[in-house]
Structure 1
């Protein structure tokens, strides 16, 4: 049985992977797929792909595009979640900041440079016509737990993270959310190392077929809202709202979306060049 390692964030978006692993669907096809949680998000997964700790990653679109352009020998093989990610903009409960204008020029907590929380701080700044060079400052906090500590002790001022993941921290008064910032592109893609693709094309096709069969019917799974609510400690009404606005994909990200995402990243100086569609994607 072939062992294949995949990484992703331990969040509700990836429950479909847990369900297929629990059902033994991959083992039935002689694949020992091992899931690895990356609470640190995109930056940690990019590093793991480069180090060959994992073969595949369910990863933020903007983060993997940047890292491939920066030399990570990977390709996007499919879109995973078609809809944009809604990033909440959070401050500490006792913070004096009330609006997004208030945090202009203050310090953003980010998990890592090149991470989603880093890149989306640029998008938020652009949306509000800030001076990118002077109004953005960063404090690396590694993960959500680090952000809680950093915002609470005042070493950083605000933090962008997926709205529904952080909702329990808003509900219990750890954070206040002062705004939202949707990503201007589909949020999650599946990326694979080039050397893995070359030697394991059929296994990769099988893995995608299994996960796609589950995501295409995900919303119809009986009591899926209750399952997510219990597993991820989220209120049922929040889960139901999230399900209503989230669509999974079973196809490769298209050229227009890739080029538009790169134009946005290039305009913000997040990437230093725009590359051909085929440099970033691989069609199975």
Structure 2
């Protein structure tokens, strides 16, 4: 049975989509998760997917907080993610400091949109133990919530949100880049669902398509045409995004520093609590698939 690979249909996923078009379902099938990383993690736990390409912070915090639904098996995007802070088109909020004490919209508990709200609070010097959240499931629910006033703002990737800003539906009031590389790959630990050999084979294939997408020739022309055709962004926005993004040369390698640095920041933000004796990094990574760098 092909691996079920969960992903978010965004421009970041272009190399995965190109790989899937070649594979044609022989070794893996794609499962779209518009609710983001929170939904990906939920589907891993509920036997709806076997592998997930998801946000670094939410994956690491999930394991640190006790999840046994997955372990890390690879890297996907090696540059930070620029999270836009979004409010309603007619809302009173003009900047991030105005959001203190208000209710922030998130897609799901444990999602990147929630984790980054804690990071934003840490940067602003707000207490992190009394943040208020409202779950709104997906980008459309989040947009509705800031416009009906049930939330003050939400956080989502900058370029994914820009078309809604350009259309006048919502407003940017700031941004918070992640202090870590943005995307990792996780797999369910069960050998019935995600056999090590099949996961490794998937990651080797994905690496090939990432290297092609990340090449100078592809960045100069093919990538712009591909993303424009599949996601509808303007050429200017695509070219601006391509200047900010980088992918790993080998998806099977996870830098140890990514995990330790992310845990350190998440602990400061109050998202995770360090156990007595510290974290065991092999708790996070399936070393029969991935290797540390």
Q: Any idea what SS the aligned residue of 2:80 has?
A: coil
Instruction: Tell me how far apart the structure 2 counterparts of residues 199 and 129 of structure 1 sit (CA, whole Å).
Output: 42
Which shows bigger deviation, 78-87 or 214-223? Answer: 214-223
Q: Which residue of 2 aligns with 1:152?
A: 147
Matching residue within 181, 184, 194 for 2:179: 184
Q: Measure the CA separation in 2 of the matches of 1:3 and 1:178.
A: 43
**Does the 8 Å CA contact 1:26/1:210 hold for their aligned counterparts?**
no
Ranges of 4+ aligned residues in structure 1 off by more than 6 Å: none
What are the ranges of 5 or more consecutive residues in structure 1 without an aligned counterpart? none
1:132 match: secondary structure: coil
- Number of equivalenced pairs: 278
Q: 1:143 aligns with which of 138, 150, 155?
A: 138
- C-alpha contact (below 8 Å) 2:50/2:193 kept by paired residues: no
Q: Deviations over 1:217-240 (max 9, x none)?
A: 204334211221232121211111
Unaligned regions of 5+ residues in structure 2, if any? none
In structure 2, the residue matched to 1:200 is 195
Work out whether 1:98 is the aligned partner of 2:94.
yes
- SS of residue matched to 1:228: helix
Instruction: List per-residue Cα deviations over 1:177-234 (Å, max 9, x = no partner).
Output: 0111001111110101111389622221211111101111204334211221232121
**TM-score, with length taken from structure 2:** 0.90
| CA RMSD, 1 decimal | 1.7
Could you tell me how far apart the structure 1 residues matched to 2:185 and 2:129 are?
32
Residues 107/216 of structure 1: CA separation in 2 closer, same or farther (3 Å cut): same
Question: What does residue 111 of structure 1 align with?
Answer: 107
**What displacement does 1:248 show?**
0.8
Q: What's the offset of the Cα at 1:173? A: 0.6
For 1:159 and 1:112, the matched residues in 2 are separated by 12
TM-score by length of 1: 0.93
Shift in alpha-carbon separation, 1:199–1:83, aligned structure 2, 3 A: closer
Matches within 5 A, 1:1-284: 2-24=1-23, 27=26, 31=27, 33-69=28-64, 70-134=66-130, 136-196=131-191, 200-219=195-214, 220-221=217-218, 222-249=221-248, 250-251=250-251, 252-273=253-274, 274-283=278-287, 284=289
